[in-house]
Amino acid sequence: MADINQKLDVLYDLLVDNLPELTTELKSLILNPDKINNTNKFASLLVELKNPDFINPLLEKISLSVKGDTWLSDFLYAAINLFDESSENDIFKVPENLINKLEDWILNNSGELSWKAANLLKFYESKSAEKIQLKKLEERSDFFLTYVECILGLLRYNNDKYVELVEQIAADETRDEKLREFCNDLICNSSANNR
């Protein structure tokens, strides 16, 4: 039991007595990811802490990154999850070139990078995000989850406007079967909620 009590003391020291200092140090590490031995564990820690104060430095660092940065996927993961947990009252600063960077990753890449970029973009309910999402949905060669995130982003932006698009994709036999199933589930859930 002594071991667990030592852990509790450390946790109390970090999360109660010194939380502002810990938050400042973690934000500094976000801006200097080369100092982090394991960015996967670091990103998971940020998500578990559920502190929206980490979002702005994550967005800043993501906006300055290049495809191939070893920490990029982990930082996208953390930003997405923290956004998902954030309140509507939280205010975030969108770095100047972030949307352009996400657009490049979504439209000119495929796989995990494109998927995570589309996942992050869905939180930016704007005309520019709408344009990117619609353009991505014109193609058919990427991982189906990338298209799922584009659809979710469009529905967040203007649900009524894009319900018909979801129905079209669900009926389109040239589309990936998993994507069609996802769209059918959206339609069924929407119908059930409207009863």
Query: If DSSP codes are grouped into helix, strand and coil, which group holds residue 51?
Result: coil
Which of 79, 126, 129, 125 is CA-nearest to residue 107?
129
Residue 37: inside a domain: yes
Residue 1 sits in the same domain as residue 83: yes
Residue 110: inside a domain: no
Residue 114: inside a domain: no
Mean pLDDT of 146-152: 97
Residue 87 sits in the same domain as residue 131: no
Residues 116-134: tens digit of each pLDDT: 999 999 999 999 999 999 9
Residue 1 sits in the same domain as residue 69: yes
Residue 44 sits in the same domain as residue 127: no
Residues 99-114: tens digit of each pLDDT: 999 999 999 999 999 9
Residue 38: inside a domain: yes
Residue 116: inside a domain: no
**pLDDT at position 4, please?**
84
Residue 64: inside a domain: yes
Range of the domain at 142: 123-195
Q: Kindly calculate the radius of gyration of the chain based on its CA atoms and give it in whole angstroms.
A: 19
Residues 13-52: tens digit of each pLDDT: 777 777 789 899 999 999 999 999 999 999 999 999 999 9
Q: Return mean pLDDT, the chain.
A: 92
Residues 51-78: tens digit of each pLDDT: 999 999 999 999 999 999 999 999 999 9
- Domain end point (choices 96, 112, 133): 96
Residue 58 sits in the same domain as residue 142: no
Residue 74: inside a domain: yes
Mean pLDDT of 87-93: 86
**pLDDT at position 195, please?**
46
Residue 92: inside a domain: yes
Q: What is the pTM (predicted TM-score) of this model?
A: 0.89
Residue 3 sits in the same domain as residue 74: yes
Number of domains in the chain: 2
